[in-house]
Every structure is written in C-alpha cells, then in structure tokens.
Homo-oligomer: A and B are copies of this chain.
Amino acid sequence: MSLQPVLRIEPIAESLSLKARAYKALKAAIMDLNIYAADAELRLDERDLSLRFGISRTPLREALAQLEQEGLVRIVPRRGIFIVRKTKAEILDMITVWAALESMAARLAASEATDKELARLQKLVVFSGDEAAANTGEYSDANIRFHQTIIGLGRNSLIGEITDSLFLHVRAIRQRTIFEADRARRSIADHTEIVKALAARDAESAERLVREHTMKLREHVERHVDLD
C-alpha cells in the first residue's frame, strides 16, 4: 500500500470527433422530440443542420448514416432525410425481441447473480411499490431500472447493447402505457414474483415470468395503443 502522493493523470482531452458529437446530439434531439405527435417535424436538412451545429457536412453525413443504420432516420437520395416513425407492427416485433432477450437474461441471472445483487434488485421493487401509489411518474423510471438491472445480471453485454437500441423506440410507448394505475400495480406484482424466482435460483420460472410479463405489455400495446 503506497502512501505516496499520486499524481492523478486523466486521459487528456478525450474530445470526441465531430462525427461522434453530431451523432450524439442528433440522437438526443430525435429522442427528445415526440415523433409520434402528429405535427412533429420529420424532415431534416443536411446543410441546415451543419450550419446549426457549426460543422461541415462531411462528419454530419457520417453521423446521419449511422443513425440510418440504427433505424432512426431514413435517407432518400435527392428527397431528404426523414425521421422514421415505426409502425405498430415493428413496435410489436421489438417488444417480442425484448421479451426473448430479457427472459434469457433472467435465465442466466438465476445462476450468475450474487445474493447481494438480488437483494438490490429486491429493493428496487419495494421502492417502486412505495412510490407507485403516490407518483406514477417516478415509477416509470424505477420500472426501467428494474428491467435494465435484470439484463445486467445476465452478464451478457450483447443483450444489453441490443435492448438499449430497442429501448430508444419502445420508450415512448412504455411511457404512454404506464400511466394506468392498475397496470402499474399488476406490474409490481409481476416484478415481485420474478425476484422470488431468481432468489430461489429457479431459472425456468424466472425465464417464464419475465417473458410473460413483457408479452403482457405487447398484448396491451396491440390492443390499446393506436399508432400510424
């Protein structure tokens, strides 16, 4: 154990490339925008954006190309760049994929997670239970953290990456559906069951419960959410 005063060195300047910064800024801007509002502005203009960001079109185009691959925008030659509205069918497919991945993560977590980690997960459920009655807005965040935690406990970072990219698109829907008190209450009941199964190291049940929980959301969206 050295007690010498240590010169703290940080990797300097880590200033991201303009391309990376444009990418982040655009992504944040698109996510901020409620793209499902009827009057949302769906058209982007390269030159206008490059002026407003104060960079040239080259890095901006590269950022846009990345966003296109991620499915957030569509670039049509000589027509324009359009923010993509996902169809209801695509949203439903995403939720299904989410169910497949999170349930696999739960299965893995049943054997991988430590008791300590599971205790923290438990606390998350209790907290959101307290909060939910009073304030469903807070619940939405706790709900998201719960699911992200399970995914993390699976120790498969690819699952985390894929669900993150899906989350962008599903987020708007989730927030729209969560503001129904009964759904929140039942959701917490499901979460409680899931934690129990994990604590019992019951991979089969954990997998099934998580899958069914998410597929309930899918069902709900299919029936009650109107897009397009």
The chain A residues found within 8 Å of chain B, CB to CB, are 17, 19, 58, 61-62, 65-66, 69-70, 77, 90, 93-94, 96-97, 99-101, 103-104, 108, 156-159, 162
How distant is A62 from chain B, measured CB to nearest CB, in Å?
5
Smallest CB–CB gap between A209 and chain B, Å? 14
Question: Residue on B with the closest CB to A90?
Answer: B158
CB distance from A131 to the nearest CB of B (A): 31
29 A-B pairs within 8 Å (CB atoms) are namely A17-B77, A19-B65, A58-B58, A61-B62, A62-B62, A62-B65, A65-B65, A66-B66, A66-B69, A69-B70, A93-B156, A93-B157, A93-B159, A96-B104, A96-B108, A96-B156, A96-B158, A96-B159, A97-B104, A97-B156, A97-B158, A97-B159, A97-B162, A99-B104, A100-B101, A100-B103, A100-B104, A101-B101, A162-B162
Task: List residues of chain B with CB within 8 A of the CB of A101.
Answer: 97, 100-101
- Most interface-central of A58, A104, A108 (chain B CB within 10 A): A104
Identical subunits present: 2
Known: A62-B65, A93-B159, A97-B104. 18 other contacts (CB 8 A): A17-B77, A58-B58, A62-B62, A65-B66, A66-B66, A69-B70, A90-B158, A93-B156, A93-B158, A96-B104, A96-B158, A97-B156, A97-B158, A97-B159, A97-B162, A99-B104, A100-B101, A100-B103
